[in-house]
Amino acid sequence: MNIFSKALLFAIMVCCLPCKIFAQQVMDTTLQEVKIHGKHKNSYDTKVNDFSPGQKIKTIDSATLQQFQLQSMASMLTQQTPVFVKSYGFNGLATLNFRGSSSAQSMVLWNGVPIQNAALGISDISTLPVLFMSKVHIDYGSSAALLGSGNVGGALLIENESPVFDSGKRTLSFCGGVGSFNQYMAGIKESRSFRHWYFSAKAFAQYAENNFNYTNSPGNKTTLTNSKLQSEAVMLQAAYKMSEENVLSLCAWYQQYERQIPPALFENYSDKNQTDGSLRTLLEWKKHRRDNSWYLKSSFTRDETHYRDDAILIKSDNVVYQFYNEAGYRRDLPQFGKVLVFIPVQVSWLPQADGTKQQDKAAIAAAYEVQFFNNKLEIAVNGRGETIIAQSKDSSVKHTFILPGLNASFTLTNWLSLRGNVQRTYRAPTLNELYYFPGGNISLKPEQGWSEDGGYAMKFNAGKTSVFHDLSLFTRDIHDWIYWFGGAIWTPHNIAEVHSRGVETENNLSVNVGHGMPHWKLHLGVNTSYVLATTVTSYIYNDGSVGKQIPYTPRYNGQVNVGFSYAHRDKEFSFNYNHSYTGYRFTTTDESSYILPYQTGNVQLMYKTEVFHHPVQFIGACNNIWNTQYQVVDQRPMPGTNWTIGVQLTLK
């Protein structure tokens, strides 16, 4: 029996022991993670709700969003999901790693629009404020036919609230907080709705010195320097209800993120700093009828990055643009299912001194979903035909391909359901991978292969006790995987073949205590993830990476949550302790160098009450309470024990 089979058997045995069934919380008022499939209408996107019955999709509940409203998306996902977040420090870049995928194979979509940097192909989720999001979903595995050709490992789906038309309704809330290392955060949200109009505005600002103590390479205690962070963000939304069937909405989101880049463990000092600015706009029209609907969306994005290193006189300024358009039509066919057809077009360009680099994507996609046996069996077939053209002054590269997919779910009983998903994947090289100077490689081949995953979910309710258990198996085979190598000059190359496979489990146990008020609820939980992502073959003769784990992909990752909630009349209190484990991460392709595993303990508190009939919420968090010295990325120290406290006041 190989190591993968042993790990799979061990995970199944652990998850089947009732006394050890823990998982993400399922509390009404405290942190929880809600499992969704196509039958549950949690997303505003019909692709997620109605044409992905076999996808593993999870929603972060509103209570968790409130708890982390003063923090970034990276902080929330690190503590509340088994997704590995590759963080370059307390205020550094943070990217996603889904099931052993690279950061460029993971998508981030805002209201259905991809917001990865169009040149880099990645999104820094440390710059995404949780305060701005009404819904957050995690799509595990590939859904390339529906979400786009770059979706290889998974996707983070973030959404704003849907416009509500109600004459005279207004909400206004303020929040603010302080924390360790001179952290200060403040935000404001306001919305007003009328019979035909809806307006909302959000703003968020933060400042931090991040001057925590750590131990450097010689073993001396020192204080992190050149580590200040300052950011501001604002989001404006307006919607007009033209008729009962037609709604037109406009959203604009601007943010600026200024951060100093502290020295790595091998550096004595650093003068590096970076400023990132993003402008994102989205104009959307929706028309809903009883059995059909139309939508049009048009988005413009401008991302700018200004990097400075005064010590060696490096100055880099890059501005990249993206124009995204999508038109779609959905039709419900009585007794014959439903069909969706949509056409996405994306144009990205990067002006540079030696000419503009441009990448154009155009596709036509369709999905068909049908149900059998009184809706117990749901099957969705989807497909996408796409053409991608990348060009510069001296060269042009064209890719044309088809992405078929099939996913299904089957409800065997009221407590057991099965799911499965098969999808062809494809990712064309980004503008940076092709044309970056110095180091770009115009000879790169696209990454392509197949992704399969499946699993089951069980849910039991026995009186005041609820038990939930979910297990997922996945495998993905990618040819021509792109990886950057180099010394003084880094260049992307194709690895011949990479095979990723593994198992994930989610389990929870919740117990209601007592009758009526006051009300107590207890929860226990655990998430586990085991991932093998290894090089199968290589174009390099006698390559030491064959059979070895892809760098920065931990084999083991897990989280335990335990806590309770208490509610009495207009008062609520919740407590949660989170313990996270991240295994070895190799930093070289031949596994010759690695970072040690680490564990962190984190506590979240939340108290809700009313003052003069206005809701007031107090939140607190203490991270890394055991003061663990660790690194997520090699040579980038992370802080020891740190805390944040905040308050939110809502005026109705």
Q: State the Cα–Cα distance between residues 557 and 599, nearest whole angstrom.
A: 10
Q: Give CA–CA dist 37/408, Å, rounded.
A: 10
Contact between residue 63 and residue 34 where contact means Cβ atoms under 8 Å apart? no
Evaluate whether 457 touches 438 at the Cβ level (below 8 Å): no
Torsion sign across C-alpha atoms 82, 160, 345, 359: negative
> CA-to-CA distance for 277 and 643, rounded, in angstroms?
28
**pLDDT of the residue at 339:** 98
The token pair that represents 576 in the structure block? 């949660």
Picking from 40, 53, 58, the residue whose alpha carbon sits closest to that of residue 157 is 58
Contact call for residues 222 and 253 (beta carbons, < 8 A): no
Q: Kindly report the three-state secondary structure assignment for every residue of 559-607.
A: EEEEEEEEEECCEEEEEEEEEEEECCEECCCCCCCEECCEEEEEEEEEE
Round to whole Å and give the CA distance between 567 and 608: 9
Phi, psi torsion values for 313, nearest 5 degrees? 55, 45
3-class DSSP state of 647: strand
E strand intervals along 182-243: 183-193, 197-208, 213-215, 221-223, 229-241
Structure tokens at 625: 């309470």
Cα–Cα distance measured from residue 342 to residue 112, given in angstroms and rounded to the nearest whole number: 12
CA 60/CA 57 separation, integer angstroms: 10
Residue 137's pLDDT is what? Answer: 95
Beta strands in 21-153 (DSSP E): 33-36, 56-60, 84-87, 94-97, 106-110, 113-114, 135-140
Could you give phi then psi for residue 519, rounded to 5 degrees? -115, 130
The DSSP output letter for 79 is H
What is the Cβ-side half-sphere exposure of residue 616, based on CA atoms within 13 angstroms?
Answer: 9
Number of other residues whose CB lies within 10 A of the CB of residue 221? 8
Q: What is the 3-state secondary structure (H, E, C) of 506-575?
A: EEEEEEEECCCCCEEEEEEEEEEEEEEEEEEECCCCCCCCECCECCCCCCEEEEEEEEEEEEECCEEEEE
DSSP-assigned states of every residue in 312-361? TTEEEEEEEEEEEEEEEEEEEETTTEEEEEEEEEEEEEE--TT--EEEEE
Let me know: does 426 contact 405? Beta carbons within 8 Å. no
Distance between CA atoms of 652 and 635, rounded to whole angstroms? 48
Structure tokens at 139: 């799509």
CATH assignment at residue 102: 2.40.170.20
Count of domains forming the chain: 1
Task: Please give the distance of CA 79 from its chain centroid, rounded to a whole number.
Answer: 13
- With a CB cutoff of 8 Å and minimum separation 6, the contacts of 323 are 298, 299, 300, 301, 346, 347, 348
User: Rounded distance, CA 455 to CA 470, Å?
Assistant: 7
- The C-alpha atoms of residue 276 and residue 281 are separated, in whole angstroms, by 17
Tokens of 432: 């940076």
Contact 584, 129 (CB under 8 A): no
- Type of residue numbered 206: Q
CA dist., res. 26 & res. 24, Å (int): 7
Whole-angstrom distance, CA of residue 207 vs CA of residue 205: 7
DSSP state of 32: B
Burial class (CB in 10 A: 0-12, 13-18, 19+), 439: middle
Residue 417's pLDDT is: 97
SS3 per residue for 417-437: EEEEEEEEEEECCCHHHHHCC
Q: What tokens does 112 get?
A: 């259905």
Q: Which helix (H) or strand (E) holds 498?
A: strand 490-513
For residue 253, CA distances in Å to 17, 160, 350 come to: 47, 11, 21
Which residues of the chain are modeled with pLDDT < 70? 1-41
Kindly report the length of the chain.
652
Scored b (16 or more CB within 10 A) or e, 29-66 reads bbbbbebbbbeeebbbbbbbbbbbbbbbbbbbbebbbb
Residue 466 domain boundaries: 3-651
